[in-house]
Amino acid sequence: MKHSVKLTCMILAVSAALHLSACDDSGGQGDSTPWDSISVTGITARNDSIDIFWKNSSDHVEITWSLDGETVDSGNGITQYGITGLSPGTEYDITLAAVDSSGNRSANQIMLDVYTTGGAEKNYSLIYTLSQLDAVRENPGGDYLLMADIDLNVRPHNSGDGWSPIGNGSDPFTGSFNGNNHVVKNMYINTPGVSHRGFFGYTAGAFICNLGLETVNVTGGDDTGSLAGWSDSSSIIDCFAAGSVSGDYSTGGLVGFSIDSDVRRCYASAVVAGGANCTGGLIGGNYSSDLTDCYAIGPVGGRAYTGGLVGWNGYASVFTSCYAAGTVTASIATAYKGGLVGYDYDGSTTYGSCFYDTMATGMNSANQDYGAPRTTSEMKSPATFTGIEPAWDFDSVWGMDGSINAGYPYLRDNH
């Protein structure tokens, strides 16, 4: 569950670009004192608290933080504040806004989306630039928080092999990466036949959240996805990808192969092409991983074991409140394919309130044991998702609007 925390910076003057004004001793603006920006320099998350550190004008600046309606004045020149009394393992929205002495709020705000930990302290490395993002490979066990959108359409990332995935089989990404509701744009990977391709090549015990990938163009070999080629014992929450992904065995719009992982509130709107088996709109191959509140709407084409959401699946996975609405094709006419899942290896997976659009996927009632078939009009009707058990959460997780996501259910905090 996400909680909102408003942190308001009360200052003596403010510009339209979230600039603070330092004041002279008489209370007026000193001619020789430059405007200075609020810039977050550090975030530390603990089990029950979050500390924020920033830079701004150090002279005569009042900063007020508001938590659940209670206002606390942190004093002039203070450049850090700790929010305490929080719940462990909980996501908090934090807003920093400049307000002048008349109560006028700047339209520009700093938005943070931070989890308290379930245990050890996390000192986040903040990523503002592409060079800082590249440096994540040097410490794949670190904790990172993205502070700006990053465009990868620059050399060397937009030519040759393109983006070099973070983490590999011998040195996987094991840390945490919080996208902070920012996006990485124009990721290009061109390495046909090379396994473990994606923004992350290989994750193990990682925590990845709040990250969007826009206009991806990924070509790889086995275990290829946009966000992760291989996800082992990792959590992927509130992430999405859009663009195109092609690979060989285990190719997915978001993740190539997922094992013992937890995927929640994620989606892919990607053209997915698998040159071999196990191709899915969201995940190519899924082994004992749980999917909750996820969907895929892009066209999926593979050889065998091809599904609108997941290509190959097995070993007691749990799917809850998921759907698929992209065309599904397989190059082998007699191959296993399905609107939601192409092939369930052992029949041990639980499918709770999952659906696929028969008209969009072209699967009719094929493999209906792997989710329930519905027409396009039914998929765009709230009654399909609320009169069932378990019912979909349209209060805080899902939304439905004819002008959003072509009328299909969308994720409120991730669209």
Q: What is the pLDDT of residues 286-326, one digit of tens each?
A: 999 999 999 999 999 999 999 999 999 999 999 999 999 99
Co-location of 366 and 272 in the same domain: yes
Domain range holding 10?
2-22+36-115
Co-location of 282 and 190 in the same domain: yes
* Structural contact between residues 199 and 226, judged by C-beta atoms closer than 8 angstroms: yes
Co-location of 202 and 57 in the same domain: no
Q: What is the pLDDT of residues 274-294, one digit of tens each?
A: 999 999 999 999 999 999 999
Co-location of 87 and 131 in the same domain: no
> 141 in helix, strand or coil?
coil
Please state which of the ranges 26-30, 53-57, 316-320 shows the lowest mean pLDDT.
26-30
* Structural contact between residues 215 and 188, judged by C-beta atoms closer than 8 angstroms: no
Please give the structure tokens belonging to residue 16.
Answer: 């339209």
Q: What is the pLDDT of residues 337-371, one digit of tens each?
A: 999 999 999 999 999 999 999 999 999 876 677 99
Give me the chain's average pLDDT, please.
Answer: 86
Look at strands 328-330 and 70-73 and give their pairing: unpaired
Q: Please tell me the distance from the alpha carbon of residue 98 to that of residue 196, in angstroms, as a whole number.
A: 44
Is the model's pLDDT at 24 over the cut of 60?
no
Q: What is the pLDDT of residues 191-203, one digit of tens each?
A: 999 999 999 999 9
Co-location of 93 and 213 in the same domain: no
Co-location of 136 and 236 in the same domain: yes
| Average of per-residue pLDDT across 53-77 | 53
* Structural contact between residues 413 and 265, judged by C-beta atoms closer than 8 angstroms: yes
The domain total for the chain is 2
User: Among residues 115, 136, 161, which one ends one of the domains?
Assistant: 115
pTM for this structure?
A: 0.90
29 belongs to a structural domain: no
